Amino acid sequence: MKRLGLSLGALALTLAGCAQTPWSRGDLVAEPQACAPQRFDIYFREGEAGLTDAARHAIGLTATQLQGCDIRKVNVIGLADASGGPDANLDLSERRALAVTEALQAAGWPTPVFSLIVAGESGSVTADGASEPMRRRTEVLVDAAPR
């Protein structure tokens, strides 16, 4: 029981000290930097590589957010679910990655920084081999920094 009393007393002193700190909220909570590494996913319909309206919107928002940043490298990783054969899934993954890359290039991102990776179903199959809609995507990893 004494140990509990000492712990509660130490906690009370610690909390009392926090109330008197000279820090402001601005010192502790910073706005996220736009020109920083980013990751986002673009989802596709089953068996398709065409961009949906939601995908175009996400690409547009990200392109706008990183406008004025030094975009050093962009990895675009095409994935597919397990609903097709391995060769078909690799082809579909490649077409998905190309569609996203072309949309980002059209938004003004520099061409030489892109790296396309095609994983097909191998990078997205669950342990039980399930075909899941969340696996029909392209992952985009952006290395961006302030200019």
Extents of the domains making up the chain: 32-145
Query: Could you write out the DSSP letters of every residue in 50-90?
Result: SPPHHHHHHHHHHHHHTTTSEEEEEEEEEE--TTS-HHHHH
To the question of domain 32-145 being in CATH 3.30.1330.60, the answer is yes
Structure confidence at residue 6 (pLDDT): 46
Among 10-14, 22-26, 61-65, the least confident range: 10-14
Structure confidence at residue 99 (pLDDT): 97
Cα pseudo-dihedral 75, 140, 92, 84, rounded to 10: 120
Structure confidence at residue 14 (pLDDT): 46
Mean of all residue pLDDT scores within the chain? 80
Structure confidence at residue 43 (pLDDT): 92
Q: Which of 7-16, 45-54, 107-116 has the highest mean pLDDT?
A: 45-54
Q: What percentage of the chain exceeds 70 in pLDDT?
A: 69
